[in-house]
Amino acid sequence: MERDIFENISPLDGRYYRGSVGLSNQLAGYLSENALIRYEARVEVALVSVMERHGIVASGAGREMLDAYKRITPEEVYKEEEKTHHNIRALVNVLQRYVSPDVAPFVHLGATSEDITATAQSLRLRDVFFTVVIPKCLDFTDSLLEIAEKEAATPQIGRTHGQHAVPITVGYFFSGYADRFGGRLLKMADAAEDLRGKLSGAVGAYNATSLLCPDPRGFEEEVLSELGLKPADFSSQIVEPEYLLDLVHAVLSAFGVLAQISDDIRNLQRTEIGEMGERFEKGQVGSSTMPHKRNPWNFEHVKSMWKEFVPRMITRYHDQISEHQRDLTNSASGRFVPEIIAAFVLSCDRLLRQFEKLVIDYEGIETNLRKTEGMFLAEPLYILLASKGVASAHEEVKQITLRAQAENKSILEIARSLESLKDVSDSEIWKALEKDPASYTGASEARTHEICAKWQERLSVLRKKVAAYKAEL
Amino acid sequence: MERDIFENISPLDGRYYRGSVGLSNQLAGYLSENALIRYEARVEVALVSVMERHGIVASGAGREMLDAYKRITPEEVYKEEEKTHHNIRALVNVLQRYVSPDVAPFVHLGATSEDITATAQSLRLRDVFFTVVIPKCLDFTDSLLEIAEKEAATPQIGRTHGQHAVPITVGYFFSGYADRFGGRLLKMADAAEDLRGKLSGAVGAYNATSLLCPDPRGFEEEVLSELGLKPADFSSQIVEPEYLLDLVHAVLSAFGVLAQISDDIRNLQRTEIGEMGERFEKGQVGSSTMPHKRNPWNFEHVKSMWKEFVPRMITRYHDQISEHQRDLTNSASGRFVPEIIAAFVLSCDRLLRQFEKLVIDYEGIETNLRKTEGMFLAEPLYILLASKGVASAHEEVKQITLRAQAENKSILEIARSLESLKDVSDSEIWKALEKDPASYTGASEARTHEICAKWQERLSVLRKKVAAYKAEL
Amino acid sequence: MERDIFENISPLDGRYYRGSVGLSNQLAGYLSENALIRYEARVEVALVSVMERHGIVASGAGREMLDAYKRITPEEVYKEEEKTHHNIRALVNVLQRYVSPDVAPFVHLGATSEDITATAQSLRLRDVFFTVVIPKCLDFTDSLLEIAEKEAATPQIGRTHGQHAVPITVGYFFSGYADRFGGRLLKMADAAEDLRGKLSGAVGAYNATSLLCPDPRGFEEEVLSELGLKPADFSSQIVEPEYLLDLVHAVLSAFGVLAQISDDIRNLQRTEIGEMGERFEKGQVGSSTMPHKRNPWNFEHVKSMWKEFVPRMITRYHDQISEHQRDLTNSASGRFVPEIIAAFVLSCDRLLRQFEKLVIDYEGIETNLRKTEGMFLAEPLYILLASKGVASAHEEVKQITLRAQAENKSILEIARSLESLKDVSDSEIWKALEKDPASYTGASEARTHEICAKWQERLSVLRKKVAAYKAEL
Amino acid sequence: MERDIFENISPLDGRYYRGSVGLSNQLAGYLSENALIRYEARVEVALVSVMERHGIVASGAGREMLDAYKRITPEEVYKEEEKTHHNIRALVNVLQRYVSPDVAPFVHLGATSEDITATAQSLRLRDVFFTVVIPKCLDFTDSLLEIAEKEAATPQIGRTHGQHAVPITVGYFFSGYADRFGGRLLKMADAAEDLRGKLSGAVGAYNATSLLCPDPRGFEEEVLSELGLKPADFSSQIVEPEYLLDLVHAVLSAFGVLAQISDDIRNLQRTEIGEMGERFEKGQVGSSTMPHKRNPWNFEHVKSMWKEFVPRMITRYHDQISEHQRDLTNSASGRFVPEIIAAFVLSCDRLLRQFEKLVIDYEGIETNLRKTEGMFLAEPLYILLASKGVASAHEEVKQITLRAQAENKSILEIARSLESLKDVSDSEIWKALEKDPASYTGASEARTHEICAKWQERLSVLRKKVAAYKAEL
């Protein structure tokens, strides 16, 4: 059923699809309705294969199912659903057409629809994480680490409340993003790996499979293991919702780190701040009539997407409740989960592209650092004085800063002139700070390297896991 | 750009599109990207037409623009956007191709992109409400009123806390739905009518149009009035967000009424309750192996959709904030607003279809009413006794009910046997209740008719407004 | 039951209570548990008074109830509830102690608990709006209008995407806040005025009151009218939840305007921007060691409160659903509604106090305006050129801006030097802009006065309504 | 500062405080403002103690601080804050009063306020989890396991879509709750254990402590280790917000399991279903006039609390963003986090009290099981027939069920009469089902015991951890 994508109402399948066709198609390979049907068919294959191994169905049945799986098309299934008004029944009917009469009665036998759907859902989500989401996040974390390492020693004014505080380095600030995002990435990987399937029947009590084999829980484990999954610790008609819930939480909390990054960079790109920003190609202008404009629109876009998707967590919490052995009120809503993943990956990719060409305005950074003429050295002045046991250190420095403002002098100048500060102002530490106030960056550089090294190692472990996973597919 | 709809990630443009092609296409006529472009072009036409009237551009310019509007295609605009990377600039370039060189410089002159986009957005939303959403809601309210009138006198046990309370009538309970939903419908109509446009330029201060005409606010009013809109009371680069916010609130609160209805009916359809439910066609079975199942899946679906869309209100509240004269963090998120409207209308339509064939099981209703053998008459017994000034009325009736439970007798039997209740039990009121406990429905029937009459009138006014609106299109 | 407020877990009743004792106590007069009990007792008085008028209870009963109302204390009621485990039953028992035996049986007669609670809730919310919330909002809007009028002609650079766009005036930007906040204030007033009560019994069908009088709907209207309320258009055990829902929406959307204001001002207070900010008293310093710091912590506080309270709207939407004639799942959650109102008023008051002493740094504003040396005049240059029918106007100006950047010249200088622009650059308009680029503020000043005048009028109407309301209390 | 608790606006500190004084006071010991101050002082003690060890401050300083910590009162601190307008500065000033002049300059030296506050917050939250929250959750899980074990073999109809499906056992259904809640409990314990502190100064770069010692990261680790904490992997002015975010997610997702339980039980308590419910004491009545009412109000209360608190997760996601090295927009909102924990524990406790006296109506359960006269045996009939390779099994059984409905016979009777089913109906399995349809519970009983055993073990491990933790306090 073809349709002009611009007739779609969803921005993800309309405007934003067009802006990212390659990645969107990759995602659709797992997250679309077509993909779901293919995954569901794979679960049906696994079920019959294990039945064969148990002697429930004739030998060769698994092989027949695998062939059938390759021959059916989603179109056929959709057409059949028009008759059955039931998607899994439609799939079963179509599969039965492609197997022998001996095998046909055994297709889907012992399973309830949700056994197939829930298992397929876990399978495709795990796959999309290990083949698309995690690799993209690894690349993104790499881009953060790269900037962090490169700028580990570039001083920059630290800001709290939007006000100048004391200096950090550009690299340190990126190492913090990497640390937070990396942490979320590990959470996502763990949660994706822990997605579960089920084959426990209509109410989760293995009623039907108990009739087919003596150890229905073992049978369930065997079928799921064919697909590389484990069964839920408990299931009613549905898999316990908390496995998926934890994954969505991991995704949305990772999205939050993207939002923080976006906010920070677009603030640093303000006309008055001008420390970094999106690259503009030679000749490109921000607005036809306002050439001074450099709109951080990609960062704004990511913030906006985050705003749109975060509240959807509430629906996930609400989907934890499914009355008794299940009601259907988590079904339609559950179908919107893939959009969250798509929006996150598209946003991550967008930032990645920005960071590959991020403009850092070193001159702007330095201008801002110097803006208060070292006023931030009040902090080390106070620390040094107090650490010599001067009880009035705090008040003394406060008076100096007030004088600096009143007399429009630099704090350095005044500090140097005071006899009472001689011990401090003659110390090596103070002399170094006097010479280069911007060097007051604490452990920024050292910590940047430590954090980067830690993450290089952690990411390398995750990369190996991803490679192993892909090799198995 | 064609694509298999089942490659879409959005359920609204995939699975649920297929389930409702007609209505979805109707909605896409206003809510799709294609529709947005057409509406934007209409705003550009209006702008040039009013310039012509003011002598800013040559006579005939408006006519030329109207022709251009009819000739351009969204495809052309998309193609142009690939060059400009700016959607409105692309539209302007394409329009300019179809007008004379004299007119071309005046296309879009004085406008900022957001003047066009914001105005087009208000226009298409108002249109979709007056041509699709409100008519559908009117039909739905009608279906509620119809059931209410028909069942105005059908007694049914009232329930609080899931427990039997005292009787109402089926009609009264539907009149309540009609009243609540009708109220929301009027809110939607008001908010849709009050959507606003703007033509105040890049920061809302009419900087550009001030150069073109002496009364730029008047000029804005004139352009918008061409489209049947009024300007926002104030605008920065964007229209004040509260107009749209109120509309979304109206939609989501109407959706909440649908959710209540869905919950109630699916509860009444429980195996143990069995008072009403979705119709099953002759021969149709709920589940191939569980023929006693009558799953209220349409009601469950609506509940599920509501759960998915309600939290999105938070994004709308967050979109109220756009720094200074605007930032772009409400742009991507704003593109998801039409989905809320689509989901609501599709859900409303689904319930409408259910109510057109709702099964009411009168036998089940009566069985439930009789289940406690008139125990609920304890209420009137207490009221009647107390209203005679008996101070101990409350305690006395309490003892009767305890006795009824202990002796497994009906409360009626015991009440009749007590001398102390003679005054009450010989009254006409009590005799009538004794004869037919189910008649203890208070003002249910009368109020049902009053409420229905009130809404017949209100809806008729709204229908006229809708008709007038359509006539103007 | 006394307790150290700092043993409270709620910040509103702990830390933030201490910061605003006067206003918090004023709010507690309506929003506390004590207040609720007093309001509930008032409803019981009204009920008996109307019974007396109808001859249901002996003459003088209303008077007795009024006396009882004045004599009971919340403590007594709490003590009684320890026995009854039912708050309204406890209240009734206590009231009965203070009336004569003739009247006692009629206390609460015909009412269900929720009749009393729902009516009291509407009553106290309406009262808190007309005596505290609306007056505070009026003052706040006034403070915005005052700044707007005062700064109507003070040019300031307009900003979009955090980038310099074209100029507005400080007053215009405040008039926009006033317009948006004022609009919300009117919504709040409307919604507060439309809060409803009920006296329709356990399932909303007037079952009990039908036994006491021939026109129970009329009786309900009469009782509520004693309290200045109207009945809900429909009620089950509870009042239709949409009346309150609309009020909370109005509050939260007004809160959103406060959040926008807070974000804007704290951005304008950034070290690099420095256009306005919180006043610091003489000698006060932002941080003991960082005297250059001027933290916009009050604006940050309001933003933070808004973030905390906005998501609570979702609970309100969920509270729209109460199964059948009511379940109790909206009861505990409903008790959290007053906190939303308290948080909003406290935030409004905090901003009001900031605006009474807002520091505007005119020098900073001018410095920023000049930062791009009139680059924003590219806009009028393009408009003026195109309006003369020059087809290439757009491209021509673009080239000028690129040259300005490349040659590090002002756009004015280049424009003046070009023969092709002579028509434009010799125009009066251009000459004025050349002389004072900051004068390119469009209709800012005029519109500011118009908007202020409109709101002066509207607020004066609302003030009269508030005064009339208070006079009646 | 004493205040009548019923003047509080917060239900948690007003009405619900009174309902649970003991537990609420226990929580206040960690979650109140008083508690926060005590924890903050403890962090200041640890800082000076480690300075002493490093020779930064004179020997004995740590001891002095510990004494000071014991002597100060929150009241003093509040009084001081009235002067300083800064809570941590107030605390420092007060502590300084109780130490010698030699030590005073070193109080708080090198720290920024947030070092103290963030560390104290992590500390008190970890403590409240290991001393109150986790123990309560352990008890609650135990109560679920106890019911599960006891009712492992009690058949009950399984329900999907509110419709009868096939049987499970009561115990199995409780084992599922235990499994889900237990899983969340482990998540909470993990997240609580992983809460982190910081001592990295105003922008997280150890600027100040770098002046005091050569290895400021090591110094931070040492101070925090005094308190049993680890430092955040990275910090700006604040600890990475994701540690707390994961904890709140764990709490809210555990709350979701409570909500599911509450919904299920209150549905099972419906008048028409009557399988289990809250115990009513002898003589107690649900409503004075409606003695048949058994309102599941405690379960409704928990559902309502869950609805109120779940949306607050959105604020937590928004609090992930703190511009640059921090802004204050997560400060006020962060103060509302303890309420979430309090509401969860109070709800958990309430359910625990219900489960200690849960009424199971075995008669009601059996009546419902028999309601459809074994119609659910259509499932095993179909499975058994198909597993014999009968291609038409599905259709055949469907016809039987239709016949059963049409002829008002039981499916068993018809199945027995059909020749074509002889193979199946003579099988041992079918004979057993015929004799006792309710025995069709699959692996319910066996799985219940397995799940319970698994959790007994896991909980025992956690109990040991909690005991070890308490021993250390």
3-state secondary structure (DSSP) of residue B402: helix
Which residue from A257, A275, A277 is spatially nearest to A158, judged by alpha carbons?
A275
Those residues of chain D that have pLDDT short of 50 are: none
The answer to whether C301 is a known catalytic residue is no
pLDDT at A285 over 60: no
Tell whether A170 and A90 lie within a shared domain: no
Closest alpha carbon to C352 in C145, C101, C194, C210: C145
Q: How far away is chain B from the Cα of A72, in angstroms, using its nearest Cα? A: 15
Average of per-residue pLDDT across B379-383: 95
Structural domain count, chain B: 3
Best probe of the D interface among B292, B400, B410, by most D CBs < 10 A, is B292
Looking at residue A355, its pLDDT comes to 96
Q: Neighbouring chains of D at 3+ CB pairs within 8 Å?
A: A, B, C
- The catalytic position among B10, B100, B287, B387 is B287
Q: Is residue D348 part of a domain?
A: yes
B324 counts as catalytic: no
- Best residue in A125, A304, A345 for a mutation probing chain B (most B CBs within 10 Å): A304
Q: Is B342 found in the same domain as B259?
A: yes
Interface ipTM above 0.95: yes
| C239-279 residue pLDDT tens | 999 999 999 999 999 999 999 999 999 999 999 999 999 88
| Residue position matching structure tokens 């509430």 | A314
Tokens 């004494």 correspond to what residue? Answer: D67
Q: What's the confidence (pLDDT) of residue C287?
A: 61
- Measured in whole angstroms, how far is the alpha carbon of residue D424 from the centre of its chain? 48
Rounded to whole angstroms, how far apart are CA atoms B410 and B419?
Answer: 17
Q: What is the mean pLDDT of chain B?
A: 95
What pLDDT, on the 0 to 100 scale, is given for residue B126? Answer: 98
Q: Which of C271, C371, C375 sits opposite A163 (nearest CB)?
A: C271
Stretch B416-440: mean pLDDT, rounded?
95
The identity of residue C316, as a single letter, is R
Q: C280 near C294, Cβ under 8 Å?
A: yes
Assess whether C105 and C128 both reside in one domain: no
Same structural domain for residues A404 and A270? no
Share of chain B above pLDDT 90, in %: 90
Q: Could D328 and C297 be called an inter-chain contact, meaning their C-beta atoms sit closer than 8 Å? A: yes
- CA distance readout (Å), D464 to B351, C269, D138, D468: 54, 53, 12, 6
- Determine the length of chain C: 473
Among all residues of chain C, which has the CA nearest to that of A271? C163
D401 lies in the same domain as D420: yes
Cβ neighbourhood burial of D454 (10 Å; 0-12, 13-18, 19+): middle
Residue A395 pLDDT greater than 90, yes or no: no
Band of residue C280 on the pLDDT scale cut at 50, 70, 90? confident
Question: pLDDT-derived band of residue A2, with 50, 70 and 90 as boundaries?
Answer: confident
A472: in domain: no
pLDDT tier for residue A283 given thresholds of 50, 70 and 90: low
Residues of A with catalytic annotation?
161, 287
The closest CB to that of B259, out of C101, C264, C321, belongs to C321
* Residue in B59, B85, B161, B288 annotated catalytic: B161
What is the model's pLDDT at position C285?
Answer: 53
| CB–CB contact A397 C289 (8 Å) | yes
Q: Which residues neighbour C218 within 8 Å (Cβ) at sequence distance 6 or greater?
A: none
Taking an 8 Å cut-off on Cβ atoms, the answer to whether D272 and B272 are in contact is yes
**The predicted structure's pLDDT at residue A287:** 62
pTM of structure: 0.97
Pairing status of strand B2-4 against strand B155-160: unpaired
Residue ending a domain, choose from D109, D138, D169: D109
Are B398 and D285 an interchain contact pair (Cβ–Cβ within 8 Å)?
yes
- Is the pLDDT at C284 greater than 60, yes or no? no
Tens digit of pLDDT for each residue in C39-69?
999 999 999 999 999 999 999 999 999 999 9
Give the confidence band of A142 by pLDDT, cuts at 50, 70, 90: very high
C104, C110, C386 member nearest B105 (Cβ): C386
Residue contact A163–C270, C-beta within 8 A: yes
Say yes or no for a CB contact (<8 Å) between C402 and A291.
Answer: yes
B274 and B314 fall within a common domain: yes
pLDDT at A188 over 70: yes
Mutate to test the interface with A, among B4, B8, B73 (most CBs of A within 10 A): B8
Considering the domain boundaries, does residue D295 fall inside one?
yes
Among the listed residues A397, D325, A272, the one whose alpha carbon sits nearest the alpha carbon of residue C290: A397
3 state DSSP class of A78? helix
Q: Which residues of C touch D17 (CB under 8 A)?
A: 3
Chain A closest-CA separation from residue B301 CA (Å): 6
- Residue A291 reports pLDDT greater than 90: no
Residues B136 and B99 in one domain: no
DSSP of A180-249: HHHHHHHHHHHHHHT-EE----TTSS-HHHHHH-S-HHHHHHHHHHHTT-EE-SSBSSSB-THHHHHHHH
| Residue labelled with tokens 């056992």 | D169
- For residues C387 and B105, what is the distance between their CA atoms, to the nearest angstrom? 7
Range of C413's domain? 373-439
Residue after which a domain boundary falls, among D81, D109, D137:
D109
pLDDT for the residue A436: 96
Query: Least CA distance to B176: which residue of chain C?
Result: C234
Q: Mark yes or no for CB contact B206/C442 under 8 Å.
A: yes
Say if strands C276-277 and C359-360 run parallel, antiparallel, or are unpaired: antiparallel
Q: Taking 90 as the threshold, does the pLDDT of residue C209 lie above it?
A: yes
B85 phi-psi bin (left φ>0, alpha ψ -120 to 50, beta other) = left
What is the spatial distance between Cα C10 and Cα C302, in angstroms, rounded to a whole number?
A: 17
Task: Kindly list the partner chains of chain A, i.e. chains with 3 or more CB atom pairs below 8 Å.
Answer: B, C, D
Task: Return the exposure string of C184-197: e unless at least 16 CB atoms fall within 10 Å of the residue's CB, then b.
Answer: bbbbbbebbebbbb
Instruction: Please check the confidence at residue B33 and state whether its pLDDT lies above 60.
Output: yes
Residues D287 and D310 in one domain: yes
pLDDT at C288 over 60: no
Residue D21 lies in a domain: no
Q: Which residue of B has its CA nearest to A27?
A: B9
Q: Compute the count of residue pairs across chains A and D with CB atoms less than 8 Å apart.
A: 297
The shortest C-alpha distance from B314 to chain C (Å) reads 6
Query: Strand (E) positions, C237-373?
Result: 276-277, 359-360
> What would the mean pLDDT of A288-305 be, rounded to a whole number?
83
Confidence of residue A284 (pLDDT cuts 50, 70, 90): low
B452, B336: one domain: yes
Option in D10, D307, D334 nearest C8 (CB): D10
DSSP characters for A151-174?
A: TTT-EEEEEETTEEEEEEEHHHHH
Judge if C389 and C466 occupy the same domain.
no
CATH code of residue C281: 1.20.200.10
Q: At residue B251, does pLDDT exceed 70?
A: yes
Select from D170, D161, D190 the least CA-distant residue to D361.
Answer: D170
Looking at residue B129, the DSSP 8-state letter turns out to be I
Look at residue A353 and tell me if it is in a domain: yes
Residues contacting C422, CB < 8 A, separation 6+: none
Res A349 pLDDT > 80:
yes
CA atoms within 13 A on the CB side of D387: 23
Q: How far apart are CA A412 and CA B69, in angstroms?
A: 67
**pLDDT (0 to 100) of residue B284:** 57
Please give the DSSP secondary-structure letter assigned to residue B216. Answer: H
Residue C17, domain member (yes or no): no
B103 assigned to some structural domain:
yes
Is there a contact between B311 and A308 if contact means CB atoms under 8 Å apart? Answer: no
Between A391 and D445, whose confidence is greater? Answer: D445
D311·C315 Cβ contact <8 A: yes
Residue A263 lies in a domain: yes
C286 chain-A contacts, CB cut-off 8 A: 163
CATH number at residue B75: 1.10.275.10
For residue D383, list chain A residues with Cβ-Cβ distance below 8 A: 109-110, 208, 211-212
Which member of A3, A32, A314 has the closest CB to residue B311?
A314
Q: Average pLDDT of C388-405? A: 89
Q: Across the interface, which of C162, C300, C401 has its CB nearest the CB of A266? A: C162
Distance between CA atoms of residues B23 and B117, nearest Å = 25
Mutate to test the interface with C, among A276, A293, A327, A409 (most CBs of C within 10 A): A293
Residues C467 and C342 in one domain: yes
pLDDT in tens, B140-173: 999 999 999 999 999 999 999 999 999 999 999 9
Q: Do B288 and A329 touch (CB under 8 A)?
A: no
CB-based contact A401 C285, cutoff 8 Å = yes
Report the pLDDT value the prediction gives residue D2, as an integer from 0 to 100: 87
Residue C329 to residue D303, Cβ atoms within 8 A: yes
- Shared domain check, D154 and D278: yes
The candidate with the shortest Cα–Cα distance to B162, out of A323, A376, D428, is A323
Please say if the pLDDT value at position C286 is more than 90.
Answer: no
